[in-house]
Structure 1
Amino acid sequence: MELTTQQLKEKINEYKKKLSVTVVAHFYQRDEVFEMGDITGDSLELAQKTMADNSEFVVFCGVGFMGQSVKVLSPNKRVVMPKAACCAMATMIDGMQFDASIKALNEAGIQNENILPITYINSNADVKAKVGEMGGMVCTSSNAKKIITTALMEGKKILFVPDRCLGQNIANQMGLKSCVIGDGSNVADADIICFNGFCSVHQLFSVDDIKFYRKKYPGILIAVHPECDPAICNAADFVGSTSQLIKYIKDLDENQKVAVGTEFNLVNRLRSKNTYVLSSTKPECPTMNETTLRDVYDVLKSIDDGAPLNEIHIDENTQKWAKIALDRMMAL
């Protein structure tokens, strides 16, 4: 029997009362799923908040690397995902591609002892583990500048994976030289050497979009995520992580118009008026939007049946080194 949205919500709430579960939802989830979250936030925020949660099961509504981060930081918890969705950026690099990037630096005359890798949290556990083994650490979009500033004190070249845009934007903010592996640049001349990964959603925004809104609404502010192309960030009034964007827009006068360059579901929830999506197309993350209310219901039912769906498991060595990489970040 097909259940209505309201019936699904009621059954989900019944399971939440019955079972030792906490439903966790990322800001980019569709509204009806986001509303079911006991804990909501961005990727690292969710992992940190669940560390203090006492439920046996974490039902993580998001994408794979986020659920993995919860499992790495809270290995005794059982983490299940309503939908086994994968972040496109995170899938752009794996352990083998990380090793190939190190090899490319070696061939450019940069030895391992002179490389300090940093991985954006939008990466899978195997990449985080590789980074941890080499003495590196994880960063988020909100703390990347602080992490890179600290890392540069070691006098090494920074290998930044997987998001080239975040790496380049931080380099621009700090007045450093960056390059992308494979773009023909001499990597030995760069301070920050970026892997050629990107967020498909944040690539949808263009400088023409900014020009359109500035012309249509004189005085409008432009606020974007640092996963956007450097040309977009350079033309914006504010660049910040998901949580920083939320605070920035919340603090604006209600009559101040603002166009926001990030995922549609988040922008749509920010405020009821004078907020626009900085795109001529709907910038909706396809993998974040894979999770439905029915998926949440199904995974809760599977827990109740004693056969949890989509449970995350990480091997011991990956768990160890990925946690070290995350712990180094949180220590700062």
Structure 2
Amino acid sequence: MSSVHELIRGAAMREAAARETTRTTGRPLASAGHRRPIVLRATGVSSCDTELADDPWAIDRDPGYGPGASSADTIPSLAPRQGPLPAEYTSASDAELTERIMAAKAALGDRVQILGHFYQRDEIVQHADFVGDSFMLAQAAKEHPEAEAFVFCGVHFMAETADILSGPDQAVILPNLAAGCSMADMATIDQVEECWKQLTATLGTGAPGGLQPVIPVTYMNSSAAIKAFCGRNGGIVCTSSNARTVLEWAFERGQRVVFFPDQHLGRNTAKAMGITEEEMPLWRPHLALGGNTAAELEAARVILWNGFCSVHKRFTVAQIEQARADFPGLTVIVHPECPAAVVDAADGAGSTEYIRKEIEAAAPGSVIAIGTEINLVNRLQQQRPDLTIFCLDPVVCPCSTMYRIHPAYLAWTLEALLAGETPNQISVSAEVADDSRVALERMLAARP
């Protein structure tokens, strides 16, 4: 058995003991990223990038997405940057920040709801009124008309979707404007419009049987502008949990689909529906016809945009093989944003909610390797100490942009709201919101 996986067992036992101490003493959760190195608790292995342990305000204004899994991705020049935080927040201890957050939250009451994504650090999740994936949290915003504001502890595109679905008098706030998403940024509205222009010129505007030549489908992990594009052009939005239903909806209306921005979710979903690799050309936005011939596009069923999640792209078949060798009989579960070969080698693949439910249903004593973001994997191990759960990649990073939502930003946001200010409000224009809502409502109306 490898030394890494020996560490997994020991770390799980230490985690269980630490959780018991927390239950009995009532002390707040320790911060994983405040003035200390990040250690992956499932393995005890250091972070893949030591700079990720830096306080986010030290790196928020640097070029790129910051250290971590998405540091090699190209960030748009106009991506928002977070301004400096007052020193009273950056110099506060973990305990002081926790106390200030809890006091402000109590004073604000039901006027403000905190939405926390599954991938957030524990010291943020502990304050959230709702925890879920991006669409679950946007739905939570829609279902709470009594709230004056939603503090969205996630990334930019998620806050946009919450703003689209919430009421016109409700504010959606992103505590750190530098919390973006490299995958969402891999498809800009200008690139998508140019792609559509070329596809229309190549494939025409009509097809046999009254079908559209191509239906645009966008993953939830995309900008509001691209969701609006889909709404205007007969398209639809999907999540990782309903991608197959959405593709079935699209094929009832069109000969083929253009799917963006995540090629892996599109490919894995289409493969499960019997569509071959030859029928799924990759569109590279900087090349004419995306680097394809007109004949290849004509023969296509799904045209895949060349985008990906930096975290999920790290998982490999070799990691699965090593895990199976170290733990005979283990179960491997991965997210469908992983490459197709990884999904094929796993025992199961599905959305974050699917992974959560699989862990809930697992028999005590099971050993489960998971291919997804490390904060979620660690939290699942905490919730099921009777299981051995570990991340497939022994040196996987947290999502570097999600990790930018630090308690200092949350404390600053809540106290600003308490003072009558509305910092970092995410506002989608009425025109874009209306067209986006069309695509989102089509998704909600699509049933398996």
Pairs within 5 Å for 1:79-228? 79-84=172-177, 85-111=179-205, 113-176=212-275, 177-181=279-283, 182=290, 184=292, 186-228=296-338
Distance 2:133 2:230 in 1: 22
Question: Counterpart of 1:305?
Answer: 419
Match of 2:344 among 234, 243, 249: 234
**Aligned partner of residue 89 in structure 1, secondary structure:** helix
Pairs within 5 Å for 1:26-65? 26-53=117-144, 54-65=146-157
Unaligned runs of 5+ in 2: 1-87, 207-211, 284-289
Question: Counterpart of 2:408?
Answer: 294
What RMSD over aligned residues (CA atoms) do the two structures have, in Å? Answer: 1.4
1:101–1:195: 8 Å Cα contact kept in structure 2?
Answer: no
1:98–1:127: 8 Å Cα contact kept in structure 2?
Answer: yes
Aligned residues: 332
Determine whether 1:73 maps to 2:183: no
Match of 2:104 among 15, 20, 23: 15
Match for 1:122: what amino acid?
A: N
Higher alpha-carbon deviation: 90-99 or 138-147: 90-99
1:156-196 C-alpha deviation (Å, 9 max, x unpaired) = 21111110000000110000132211354712211111111
State the TM-score, normalizing by the size of structure 1.
0.96
The structure with more radius of gyration: 2
Determine whether 1:279 maps to 2:370: no
1:277-308 C-alpha deviation (Å, 9 max, x unpaired) = 01132231000101100100001112122232
**Aligned partner of residue 160 in structure 1, secondary structure:** strand
Question: Counterpart of 1:331?
Answer: 445
**Aligned partner of residue 217 in structure 2, secondary structure:** strand
Distance 2:96 2:428 in 1: 35
Distance 1:297 1:206 in 2: 38
1:184-237 C-alpha deviation (Å, 9 max, x unpaired) = 471221111111110000001011101110111111111000000001001110
1:42-86 C-alpha deviation (Å, 9 max, x unpaired) = 010011112122210100000001001100011421001111111
2:141–2:165: 8 Å Cα contact kept in structure 1?
Answer: no
Distance 1:110 1:63 in 2: 37
Aligned-pair identity in percent equals 37
Higher alpha-carbon deviation: 264-273 or 199-208: 264-273
Question: Counterpart of 2:42?
Answer: none
1:254–1:274: 8 Å Cα contact kept in structure 2?
Answer: no
Match for 2:173: what amino acid?
A: V
Question: Counterpart of 1:4?
Answer: 93
Unaligned runs of 5+ in 1: none
State the TM-score, normalizing by the size of structure 2.
0.72
